[in-house]
Structure 1
Amino acid sequence: MDRQVKRRVERHRFLYIYRQERRSVWFCVVPYMKAGGIKRHKRRTFQDRRYGTKAAALAVAQQWRDEQTELSEVRRAMGDQKALSLFTAVSEATPFGLVGIKPLFRLKPLGGNMSVTAQKGRKRWFSMRKYGVWEAYEMAVIQRCKWIGAEPPDRADMDARFNRWLEANEGQLTKHEICYKSLLQTRE
């Protein structure tokens, strides 16, 4: 269960590719890392008239970008490409022992969410009021696994982690008026 997940480079259609309509040109700017850790950029332009059409120039730009992102100096400069793991020690920052999954409670409006994060800028919340405490937790775990490309933990492991957290946080759930009593009865 503690194996790390080697991430592939996720390329959306316009990653590092930009358009300048005035000049009818696509240009690609790809970061790379020089010796000594100095970050630089490779630049190349793709003019519509040279490749025939706007779409053809874009296709060539994407092909060049894809070739460049396979180079090790570019991969290092692209940022956080290290392997990700789902499991960690239980702490205040990771109450379930799952990286990126954390319950958040609020007073106005009264309630709580399961927060899930992954990589830079990816964040999503699942309402404990709307979905229920267990369902919000389960949806957060599944979302995190999708984002990092890991297999979800087995049901027994998820139950054990959740029940440990639930017993320690009954007061929080009561304070924020989130129903969990039926959950305790059905899960025992």
Structure 2
Amino acid sequence: MTRFYTVRCCPLTAQFWFLGVDARQGDLALRGFSKARAAQGSSRYTLGDLSLHSAGLTLQTPRGPLHFNRRTQTFTLAGQHVPLALGRTQVRAALQGHERWIEGRYGPGYRPALADELRPPRPVRAALPAWQAWHRGSLAEPAPLAFVGAGGGAFSRPTQAEPHLLAVNQRGPARAPVH
């Protein structure tokens, strides 16, 4: 069995557990995700710009694919590390779209009932409050970023145009606290 390092109370820890349940129950396919064989591990599920795999996820952005590695709990864009909080902000809309679909299908109490019924592992249970806050929009994380400049480097705050894109400018790698 594969072991994963988890950042304390990271909402993606619980999100991936829920996505695994959705895959086993056929909900990803029902929503329209296409299932394809992956070179390693579980199948890859893709819907639009979002691809899911047990090892992580990929979100296609205009600057290239934004990858989340579940094992290391890190985000990368074009080979550069993206601070965890900023990466989570970028994938949040795609994942919330799925959660809205699940809630519409099963009702608002489905996810908490699922967690009570299936008793997820301890790291997932610990991450459930952060996951709930993240989906309510109350988890304190930076606003989405916009691309700035033409090269690799640090991150900057959003511009009015295209606030959903990751920012990159000329100042070097950004430092952000890991939660």
TM-score by length of 1: 0.23
Higher relative contact order (CA 8 A, sep 6+): 2
Structure having the larger proportion of residues in strand: 1
The structure having more radius of gyration, on CA atoms, is 1
